[in-house]
Chains A and B, each alone.
Chain A
């Protein structure tokens, strides 16, 4: 499923969060969305999974306007893994994953064999079959993240939207989740914090900064010292380690400067104090 984001703008509380962002993910492509905190990554994803209607611009899946179709119709094609939300009630793993079928079922539809199969397959793919009857609250952070992924997969989506899917996970689980997602073969748009992960798993990287798309293309072309340095305010070096891209990153301080980073200001003040 092809995703086209066309000149999408979002304003929150009078402040522009996204400014005419245009971005396409070809069918089966894996695009990583990177950028500093507050650059608009989550807001862009929310416009794709219909949690926030863009104030301007269009989101299309396979050419059709996503926001013009019924919510359930859109949700049947778009699977979402977002950061975990707290609830006071305890669903079991299977119940929680079965909620991924919600958009496929009408008000009086029974949970059919096909629905059961989709849930079982999602549990199997995420290695959770043995956990089906456990309560989600009893699981570890990594297992819970797999439950959320399984819920997204249970809907058999053709486009997968992931918001920091590797948050709170140890290194092994980060790799496992991204391997799994890549091997599904569906179209993926994922906000990622780790540049290493973006370079290793995505076939395209889109860089957001202050609500604007500043670079977009294959990882090796986009994730250059110049782009990373400019966007994140760091001194970056990029190494080719037998085909894998590695990054060396250090905070960049060019104080005194109007845009001197708070950590640099602190460091400068400390060194001044030490000198006394």
Chain B
């Protein structure tokens, strides 16, 4: 019977071989990181950047050269954080979309990003620093976790988590948290308050140094592994509660696990990069257009694409009105929206609507 079926079985619609695509994206990401590190008010040629990075990555110490200082101390950590934040937000968005079975979902939609902002802003305005450098990320995570807990508590009905209620409750809380953030910041008499409001609502990567990087990098890497391990079951979850149960899925438990991981991701990323919108919404769709809806194939692509996307958005943010900087959220919107609309028209999302 199986002899009549050609092998290997075509498990997807896209024609490009998947490993080649992943390798290409990883290549683009690496080259982008080197090139982007060279771009700034003081330009450093890509070759020199590569040399400096190679010197440090092979254990070489600091040198007195200005280029070395700019590349290794200032720009490279920032570029890496852009990659980590973009990857984390794209991953979180992809998973949230699957969990609530809704293609317009992202961490904002569940109130997570704004919850993280509230946590961070409360720490900033009260000046509490019990955990030292970890205080701010911890507070942002607590904010996201509180938001998630509130949303889950309100959305639960008879022990079950219903996607539509989750979205409605999340949107409502999201507005509340954004309001709290703006209120707290507007009330403080600090001259930096305006700047802070912009950062927590639109994001930014300026001021990044090496100390900023380890926590978000570890969280994004860990969450990627844990989420990939659940990608197959996420596919079944997308089919809905009933179909999931029929396939042997404990839908509620899986949803809880996925939402906790998403909260961790969002809280950690927002803590270091502010509230960067749009990445979590758009990048997953680009990934689906490239490799289809199967999360085992789509999540790694979303991670790489998210990294590349935010990296270049940050380059634009620091270059367009140099020496001043634009909030990166402005750039993700300016770059992301037209790009997404173009791709959507070219590729056609019609299939997604007729499903």
The interface of chain A, by Cβ under 8 A from chain B, is 46, 49-51, 70-76, 78, 80, 82, 85-92, 94-95, 98-100, 102-103, 105, 107-108, 116-117, 119-121, 123-125, 129, 132-138, 155, 161
A144: min CB distance to chain B, Å: 10
Tell me the nearest residue of chain B to A113, going by C-beta. B7
B301: min CB distance to chain A, Å: 14
Q: How large is the interface on B (under 10, 10 to 19, 20 to 34, 35 or more residues)?
A: 35 or more
Question: Would A92 and B292 count as touching, CB distance under 8 A?
Answer: yes
Question: Would B355 and A89 count as touching, CB distance under 8 A?
Answer: yes
B101 at the interface (CB under 8 A from A): yes
Given contacts A88-B101, A89-B355, A129-B5, contact A108 B247 (CB under 8 A): no
**CB < 8 Å: which of A46, A74, A86, A119 contacts B248?**
A74
B12 at the interface (CB under 8 A from A): yes
CA distance A112 to B201 in the complex (A): 47
Assuming A116-B8, A135-B13, what are 10 further A-B pairs, CB within 8 angstroms? A85-B239, A92-B11, A92-B12, A94-B10, A95-B235, A102-B232, A103-B248, A105-B232, A124-B1, A137-B352
Residues of B within 8 A of A49 (CB): 245-246
**CB < 8 Å: which of B233, B238, B288 contacts A87?**
B238
Residues of A within 8 A of B30 (CB): none
Within 8 A of A (CB), among B1-24: 1-2, 4-5, 7-13
Given contacts A46-B242, A95-B294, contact A137 B355 (CB under 8 A): yes
B229 at the interface (CB under 8 A from A): yes
CA distance A125 to B256 in the complex (A): 37
**CB < 8 Å: which of A75, A87, A98, A134 contacts B240?**
A87
Residues of A within 8 A of B233 (CB): 102, 107
B102 at the interface (CB under 8 A from A): yes
Residues of A within 8 A of B245 (CB): 49-51, 71
Residues of B within 8 A of A73 (CB): 248
**CB < 8 Å: which of A46, A99, A129, A133 contacts B236?**
A99
CA distance A98 to B295 in the complex (A): 13
CA distance A86 to B239 in the complex (A): 8
A-B contact pairs, 16 of them (CB 8 A): A46-B242, A49-B246, A75-B249, A85-B242, A85-B243, A87-B101, A88-B355, A89-B238, A89-B293, A90-B355, A91-B293, A92-B10, A95-B12, A103-B247, A103-B248, A132-B10
B351 at the interface (CB under 8 A from A): yes
Question: Would A99 and B5 count as touching, CB distance under 8 A?
Answer: no
CA distance A50 to B242 in the complex (A): 9
Question: Would A87 and B9 count as touching, CB distance under 8 A?
Answer: no
A146: min CB distance to chain B, Å: 15
Within 8 A of A (CB), among B99-116: 101-103
Given contacts A50-B245, A50-B246, contact A133 B12 (CB under 8 A): yes
CA distance A136 to B351 in the complex (A): 9
Question: Would A91 and B292 count as touching, CB distance under 8 A?
Answer: yes
Residues of A within 8 A of B288 (CB): 89-90
**CB < 8 Å: which of B102, B232, B242, B354 contacts A51?**
B242
Tell me the nearest residue of chain A to B230, going by C-beta. A107
Tell me the nearest residue of chain B to A94, going by C-beta. B11
Given contacts A89-B238, A99-B247, contact A137 B351 (CB under 8 A): yes
Question: Would B242 and A87 count as touching, CB distance under 8 A?
Answer: no
Given contacts A95-B12, A102-B248, A117-B2, contact A90 B242 (CB under 8 A): no
Residues of A within 8 A of B12 (CB): 92, 94-95, 133
